[in-house]
Amino acid sequence: MTVQTDVLVIGSGIAGLFYTLRVAEHRKVILVTKKQTVESNTNYAQGGIASVFSETDSLQMHIDDTITAGAGLCHLDVVETVITEGPGLVRELIDLGVRFTSNGGTLDLGREGGHSRNRIVHAKDLTGREIERALVMRAQSHPNVTILENHVALELITEHNLRGAASASGARVHCWGAYVLDKERSVVKRFLARNTVLSTGGCGCVYLHTTNPSIATGDGIAMAYRAGVPVANMEFIQFHPTSLFHPGARSFLISEAVRGHGAILRNRAGERFMERYDERKELAPRDIVARAIDSELKKHGDDCVFLDLTHLPAEDIQSRFPHIYATCKSLGIDITTDLIPVVPAAHYVCGGVCTDLHGRSSIRGLFVCGESAMTGLHGANRLASNSLLEALVFANRAAAATLADTPAMPASADILEWDDSGTYNTEEWVLISHNRRELQTLMSDYVGIVRSTLRLERAMRRIELLLGEVEDFHKRTRVSEHLIELRNMTLVAHLIVGCALRRAESRGLHFTTDYPAPDPALSQRDTVASIFDAP
Ligand code: FAD
Ligand code: SIN
């Protein structure tokens, strides 16, 4: 079955939706998303969007904070572009109906780690849900937009999918859409488009403990890599220092804005330990706070540390963080009187698919924006709340670039249908679930906050075995969402470990005991991986 449109958008987080609204004024858009429309990392964002609105702040200060956090790997042109264009686009979100928290008409600005000023625009502690609500409402009512839920993109369509295609190496490859599994009908459809946008978010689910929802399996990164687009900096996985440690809510985040509001980190002995690690204490950049917690846990053999808000006015906490208050309360923790048990969890991938300043990938017609992209903004460590900002700016720029370019399409008859001949429907769920769990366990045990060459090499050997097994299973079996995700997660894990092994230094989020210091020679050098270089 074939569906044809001007533009195919894959993913319905902030990047995919904002891009969609921009191009829909001039093009027909089909947006496919693998679960319900709102289900995305965006929907769970708490802290907010970092952007310069205060008179005591400046673009230069935000640029400097971003570069400091990025530990020598940020691309300066990208940092300047994102931070300069950000405030205008935050205003446009407000015009689109997003209701940010304000005091008497002035935006209320929160504080998070690594920021030298209050600059986090937020909707209490439910910023992502509010953004998603407003953007989904606009997109659903736009006459040029069709949203298809429960549609999982599994492979991009390029020259390799043309009838009698010669190898595309050498000439610039094009993307003309994607093969997409319609989960309700259990059928793979061809979606053909002049332009395709990957906005599939991150890959937190390759780890056992993550703040990410189950959609975050790195699908876009894996699809682009298989199609030949370079991927970079995958070693820089950000662990959020404070995810709730409770058997009833394994992936619930306690926003960094809580520390920005004055919360203190204590170990089980009650000691405020951050002052031993960094003079910025609880508001040091995330990599430093997460490593400090990891060190406290290992030193004392504890399973969690604690956030202490008990010295802050109870009414203020309830009104500023209503979602965190209510969620913890439902689990028996009153955050105004009790300490909150927290541990670090995989949160964000700073690496991703390489793009230029317009969200363009190396394949013509293929754009990548949001968490799936490696634009150069974050370097070795993302500054808190710079992710929603990056997604907005690059979605906007990619939309402008899309409207300026209309690549030619081959006749649809020349593009191959999805071929599943020779595959069969084996219900071997146990193979998928076992491999998924094994992958997540080894990533958590061997590729966490503190790494070593021995552990990375051990992880690599096991991941290579898993990759072989999963690819073999994939060739023999009719595709399912779980199998697509496992295949992508295994490839993304391979990319993370491969990049980590190549970075023989400690920098930002990549800390290895074999090379505990940064190597000045590696400053400004991204770790680029391409399928054409793979052995
Ligand atoms: P997402 O919002 O993750 O959307 C991805 C979309 O792609 C989803 O709709 C998904 O279903 C779809 N998809 C994935 N694979 C496929 C496929 N194969 N086929 C079809 N559809 C697919 N950042 C900040 O800047 N500020 C914050 O306060 C903040 N808080 C956060 C709190 C939490 C708990 C988490 C998890 C992240 C937070 N982040 C925050 C990070 C930020 O939310 C994300 O980086 C950002 O929302 C990513 O947006 P996106 O549009 O790229 O992807
Ligand atoms: C948070 O609210 O702590 C998350 C902010 C972010 O990931 O940028």
User: Which atom of ligand 2 has the smallest separation from the CA of 388?
Assistant: 8
- Residue 320: the pLDDT is 95
Helix, strand, coil percentages for the chain (3-state, nearest 5):
40, 20, 40
- The tally of domains found in the chain comes to 2
Give the DSSP per-residue string, 76-88.
Answer: HHHHHHHHHHHHH
Does pLDDT of 170 surpass 90? no
- The verdict on residue 485 lying in a domain is yes
Give Cβ neighbours of residue 313 (< 8 Å, ≥ 6 apart). none
Does pLDDT of 493 surpass 60? yes
Does pLDDT of 428 surpass 80? no
Q: Which ligand is nearest to the CA of 203?
A: 1
Single out the residue of 534, 535, 532 nearest to residue 169, CA to CA: 532
Residue 399 corresponds to which tokens in the numbers above?
């939309």
Residue type, 497: V
* CATH number of the domain within which 433 lies: 1.20.58.100
- Residue 427: the pLDDT is 60
Does pLDDT of 535 surpass 70? no
Distance 254 CA to ligand 2 centre (A): 9
- The verdict on residue 195 lying in a domain is no
pTM for this prediction: 0.97
Distance 265 CA to ligand 1 centre (A): 27
Q: What is the rounded distance in angstroms from the CA atom of residue 376 to the CA atom of residue 367? A: 15
Does pLDDT of 168 surpass 80? no
Taking residues 260-268, what's their average pLDDT?
96
Active site amino acids: 286
Ligand 1 pocket, residue 219 CB under 6 Å: yes
Q: Which ligand is nearest to the CA of 390?
A: 1
Q: Which ligand is nearest to the CA of 391?
A: 1
Distance 13 CA to ligand 1 centre (A): 5
- The verdict on residue 48 lying in a domain is no
Ligand 1 pocket, residue 45 CB under 6 Å: yes
Please tell me whether residue 322 adopts helix, strand or coil conformation: helix
Give Cβ neighbours of residue 328 (< 8 Å, ≥ 6 apart). 244, 334, 335, 340
User: Which atom of ligand 1 has the smallest separation from the CA of 212?
Assistant: 36
- Residue 165: the pLDDT is 62
Ligand 1 pocket, residue 371 CB under 6 Å: yes
What's the CA angle centered on 322, arms 69 and 47, to 5 degrees?
15
User: Which atom of ligand 2 has the smallest separation from the CA of 386?
Assistant: 8
Residue type, 526: D
Ligand 1 pocket, residue 134 CB under 6 Å: no
- Tens digits of residue pLDDT in 303-317: 999 999 999 999 999
Q: 406: pLDDT confidence band, cut at 50, 70 and 90?
A: confident
Q: What is the rounded distance in angstroms from the CA atom of residue 67 to the CA atom of residue 86? A: 16
Q: What is the mean pLDDT of the chain?
A: 95
Ligand 1 pocket, residue 370 CB under 6 Å: yes
Distance 135 CA to ligand 1 centre (A): 14
Ligand 1 pocket, residue 40 CB under 6 Å: yes
Distance 36 CA to ligand 1 centre (A): 13
Q: Which ligand is nearest to the CA of 377?
A: 1
Domain boundary among 345, 366, 395: 345
Ligand 1 pocket, residue 390 CB under 6 Å: no
DSSP state of 415: B
Taking residues 30-41, what's their average pLDDT?
96
- The verdict on residue 497 lying in a domain is yes
* CATH number of the domain within which 335 lies: 3.90.700.10
Does pLDDT of 521 surpass 70? yes
- The verdict on residue 279 lying in a domain is yes
What does the longest C-alpha to C-alpha distance in the chain come to? 70
User: Which atom of ligand 2 has the smallest separation from the CA of 127?
Assistant: 2
Percent of the chain with pLDDT over 90: 88
Taking residues 176-199, what's their average pLDDT?
97
Mutate to test the pocket of ligand 1, among 31, 200, 258, 348 (most ligand atoms within 8 A of CB): 200
User: In terms of C-beta density within 10 A (0-12 exposed, 13-18 middle, 19 or more buried), how is residue 234 classed?
Assistant: buried
- Which protein residues touch ligand 2 with a CB less than 6 Å away? 46-47, 255-257, 384-385, 387
User: In terms of C-beta density within 10 A (0-12 exposed, 13-18 middle, 19 or more buried), how is residue 467 classed?
Assistant: middle
Domain boundary among 345, 375, 402: 345
- Tens digits of residue pLDDT in 344-386: 999 999 999 999 999 999 999 999 999 999 999 999 999 999 9
- Residue 407: the pLDDT is 85
Q: 27: pLDDT confidence band, cut at 50, 70 and 90?
A: very high
Residue type, 448: G
Distance 284 CA to ligand 2 centre (A): 14
- The verdict on residue 447 lying in a domain is yes
Percent of the chain with pLDDT over 70: 98
Bridge partners of 268, per DSSP, are none
Q: Which ligand is nearest to the CA of 211?
A: 1
Domain boundary among 318, 345, 372: 345
- The verdict on residue 85 lying in a domain is no
Taking residues 104-128, what's their average pLDDT?
95
DSSP state of 51: -
Q: What is the rounded distance in angstroms from the CA atom of residue 288 to the CA atom of residue 268? A: 19
- Residue 431: the pLDDT is 84
Residue having the nearest C-alpha atom to atom 47 of ligand 1? 42
Residue 151 corresponds to which tokens in the numbers above?
């549609």
What's the CA angle centered on 173, arms 169 and 178, to 5 degrees?
125
- The verdict on residue 100 lying in a domain is no
Distance 208 CA to ligand 1 centre (A): 18
Q: 387: pLDDT confidence band, cut at 50, 70 and 90?
A: very high
User: In terms of C-beta density within 10 A (0-12 exposed, 13-18 middle, 19 or more buried), how is residue 451 classed?
Assistant: buried
Taking residues 98-117, what's their average pLDDT?
95
Does pLDDT of 79 surpass 70? yes
Distance 386 CA to ligand 2 centre (A): 9
Taking residues 96-118, what's their average pLDDT?
95
The residue segments making up the domain with residue 263 are 241-345
Mutate to test the pocket of ligand 2, among 82, 112, 125, 307 (most ligand atoms within 8 A of CB): 112
Distances (CA, A) of 172 to 88, 166, 389: 35, 13, 31
Ligand 1 pocket, residue 290 CB under 6 Å: no
Instruction: Name the phi and psi angles at 506, rounded to 5.
Output: -110, 130
